[in-house]
Every structure is written in C-alpha cells, then in structure tokens.
Amino acid sequence: MKAIFGKMSDGKLSDPDNKKAEEKDMRYLKQPRGPGKSWVFKMDTPPELVGLPNPWDGKPFRKAITRGLGTRRLTEARKLRDIVLGDIRRLQDGLREDEAFTLASALEWREMVKEARQEAIEDGDPFNVGLELILNDKLEVAERNKAASPEKLKRFARVAQGTGFPLAHAHTQYVEARREGNPYGYAALKKTTVMNLDTAIKHLRAFLNDEDKTACLEDVTPDDARRFRDVYLPSVRNNRSPSGLSAKTIEKNITLIKQLWVWALESGLVRSNIANPWEFTKGLRRTKNRGDQKREDYQPSEFAALLMATERGSKEGDLIRLAIATGCRADEIATIATDQAREDGSGFYISEGKTKNALRFIPTVGEAQTLLKARISEHGASGRVFPEWPIRPASGKAASVSQWFTRFRRKTLGKDTDGRLALHSTRHTWRTVARRAGVNEATINDLGGWSGTRTSSAVYDHGLLEEQLVEAQWQVWGRLKQDGYLEGF
C-alpha cells in the first residue's frame, strides 16, 4: 500500500494520478514571498510574443511573463491563472506571423541574448547559449513558412543577435547626443537642423524599404549610398519640388546623414573596420541648381513702394521697416521676446540664430527706435514684440512671415520679381548700403551677424562697444534715407 499510496497533509490517501493532476493544476503559480502570501503567475514567454507589447501595461514581453494575481487563496489564483493563459493564447492565435519581427521585438531579443551570453561566460561555457538556439529556430521556422521576406528576417537577425545597430535607434540617440547642453561637447543641433535630419532619414528609410525600422547602419553599402544620392533623391517629388529635389537639397540631405554615421563610428555603435559609406570619392563638380536668375538688392524705389503699401503699426509694416533699418533676418525680428528688447526702443538682443555670430546686440536709431518703443509699449505685456506672428513650436520660427511676404511682393512689385527679389534680399540691401555709408567690413559683420573673414587677431577680438555700434547704425540709417529707401517709413 505504501508503495502505491501516499499520505496527504489532511491524513487522506491519494493515488499518483491524483497527485500528478494536482501538480499540473499548480503550473505557473508561485508564492515568491513565501507560504500564505499572494500568488504570482510566471511562465516562459512564447518565442513569437517576445518583444511585442503585452495587453496589461503595453510594455514589450521579455523572456518571462510575470504577473501578480492579487490573492492569497489558491482557488482564486487558479481561476486568474487560467484567465491570463487565455489572454496569452488569444494573443498567439491572433498574431500575424510577420508581427513577431518588429524593431521592439528585435531590441528585446538583443538584450536577452546579451544577458544570456554573459551568464554562459560566467558558467564557463560561452558557446552554449540556449536562448540563441531558440532565436535561430524561430528564424528558421519563419523562413520556412515564409512568414516574412528574407531581407526582413536578415535585418531582424542582425539587430537581435547584436551584429547590427538599427538606423531608427541610431537616429534617436544621435539627436539626443547633440541636444543643447549635452555632456559630450558636441555642437547642439538647431531645431531646423533636426527637422531636416528627420526628413533625410525618412527618405533613406523609404529607399531601404524599412517599414519595420529594422534596417541597420551596417546595411548601407557605398553602392547603396551612391544610388540613394544619384538616383533615389533626384526622383523624390513633392509640392515644393515638383521636378524632383534640387542638387543643393540633395547635398544637404547627404551631409546630415553623413554626420550621423561619423558619430556612430566615433561612439563605437558601428565596428571601426567599417568605412563610412557617405564618404564619396571626389568626382565632377556638381551644380547647386540655383537657376539662371540671381537674387538682387532692392532698388530704393522698390523698397519705398513696399513701405508705402503697408501701414506703420501693423505687424507687416513694422516688420519690414525694422528689417531694412537693422539688416536682421525677418524671422529674428518676428520672434523677439519682450525681455530681449530695450524698453526705450534703443535696440534688442538676438539670443539664438543660425550661427554663433548671430548672437548680438542690434541698436535701433531714428524712426526705427520710435517704432520699436511703440511696439513694446503696446504689445510688451504679451511677452513678445510681434505677438501677431505665430511661432511654429517644432521649428521655433515664424513660418508665415515668408509666405505672407511672397504674396505681398508679387502684388506690389509684380510676379516678374520672382527669383530676383525675396524677403531675405532686405538683409543684403542693408549690407550694401552699409558699405556705401563707409562702415568698415568688421563692423558690418558685428551688426549683421555675419562671420566675415577670419584673421590672426580674430580670436582676441571681443567686438565693438555699444556706442560704436550705435554710431555705425546711424551711418547706415543716414545713407538709407539719403538714397530714398525710407520714403514712406
């Protein structure tokens, strides 16, 4: 009898079949904090679910599924366990085979494989990593069943096995590494540069057919880079470029992507023996597609016509008046904060710009000072000198300024000025007049924020005194008035 029956805790006898049934009914149930404490569900994650978001908190499944059941009663724990198992089975049944090969899943596998390799090394058997065998089986079954394309499986395997670094991941980390105040000493990327990089990476991922974001930096060969530059980008058409991207835009895209690769190589994300595919050998000189027409300065009569077609005190009229009087970029003026401007209207500070030279003090003189003072008095409480111009949060720029001016210029001066005159021509007109007024080149650069020619003494030069800048601005103002640019100011 003793060989067949065992004694249970309540004194009753139980046959082996009943004992097996009871042990089976305890599957996936644990009491990690000891007897009498809450039950916990725990099981190894089915391979096809690893990396996918679970239905309870949206976080990716790791190699084990653990979920507190919130009860100390075994009967309740068993019922809750069965509910969780049902959820997992439904996830498996409803899962499309190719959904198991996402970037999130690949990254989750990557971390688990890394941990498993470390454990194997510590156990003294570095070549016996069971989790890698499971991953290989998963990929072989997927390839046999044609669950995903061979290219997709290849990219997934690279990320999961740690032999490739995903482009989408590198993009995010690169932008973070070059944020304002980064600890690496990298020059911070401007908002517009980040937006342009986003566009460039979007084009590259489209070229690589990277819908799942599993394409790796290692996937891009020099031949791929050349075809992307010479074939794919010129064929990209949109509303702004109906004939395809210009050579200048293509060059900008390539430069931005190249810098990401430079950072990845420097940071060790890509093996050092891999060359940067965006380092092209020097070939024929490429045009910038600037067109036959060349931007010109405004003639006095043309700018006077623009002034007389606007009202002093309006957001449009005040903007172009300050633009011609200071030589600032229109976007710099439209985004001036109240605390950047002097209350008496004698000038304002540019705290952020296209280059480090853009950071400067701009004195305003004559009627321009009166105009600025009136604006500060009327709108200063809003926190901005030109609150009527909306700022786009993504770029920090007043994008509508340029759109308005194009329509306004065509209406006032005619469509034949397209390609010859633009809003930015105001800045170049100011510079031309400054030279005619006898202001020296270095002072023009200080006032306008241009870098200018570097000299051996430049590193020791800390700029002009404020009264010297004011004096130079008066010279420019006088010449603008003398030449007729300010008629209708």
pLDDT at 485 > cutoff 50: yes
For strands 40-44 and 29-30, give the pairing: antiparallel
- Residue 203 and residue 74: Cα distance in Å, rounded? 56
Output the pLDDT for position 326.
Answer: 96
Tokens representing 183 are: 């600890």
Confidence of residue 457 (pLDDT cuts 50, 70, 90): very low
Q: Which of 249, 259, 190 is nearest to 397 (CA)?
A: 190
Alpha-carbon gap, residue 198 to 172, rounded angstroms: 10
Query: What percentage of the chain has pLDDT greater than the value 70?
Result: 86
Residue 229 has pLDDT above 70, yes or no: yes
Strand-pair partners of 360: 350
Task: Please give the single-letter amino acid code of residue 366.
Answer: G
- Distance between CA atoms of 192 and 207, rounded to whole angstroms? 23
Give the least confident one: 5-14, 34-43, 320-329, 403-412. 5-14
Length of the chain: 489
Residue 151 half-sphere exposure toward CB, CA atoms < 13 A = 9
Least confident of 93-102, 139-148, 230-239: 93-102
Name residue, tokens 């103002």.
477
Q: What is the pLDDT of residues 35-79, one digit of tens each?
A: 888 999 999 888 777 777 776 777 778 888 888 888 888 888 888
Residue 241 has pLDDT above 60, yes or no: yes
**Average pLDDT over every residue of 241-259:** 90
Single-letter code of the amino acid located at 211: E
pLDDT band at residue 461 using 50, 70 and 90 as cut-offs:
very low
Q: What pLDDT band is residue 13 in, cutting at 50, 70 and 90?
A: very low
Identity of the residue numbered 239: N
For residue 446, pLDDT over 70 is answered with yes
Whether the pLDDT of residue 456 is over 60: the answer is no
- Give the Cα-Cα-Cα angle 316, 320, 322 (nearest 5 degrees): 115
Distance, in Å, from the CA atom of 316 to the CA atom of 409, rounded to the nearest integer, reads 12
Q: For position 132, what pLDDT does the model report? A: 79
Q: Which of 17, 10, 28, 6 is nearest to 80 (CA)?
A: 28
User: b/e for 288-322, b at 16 or more Cβ within 10 A?
Assistant: eeeeeeeebbbebebbbbbbebbeeeebbbbbbbb
CA atoms in the 13 A half-sphere facing the CB of 93:
6
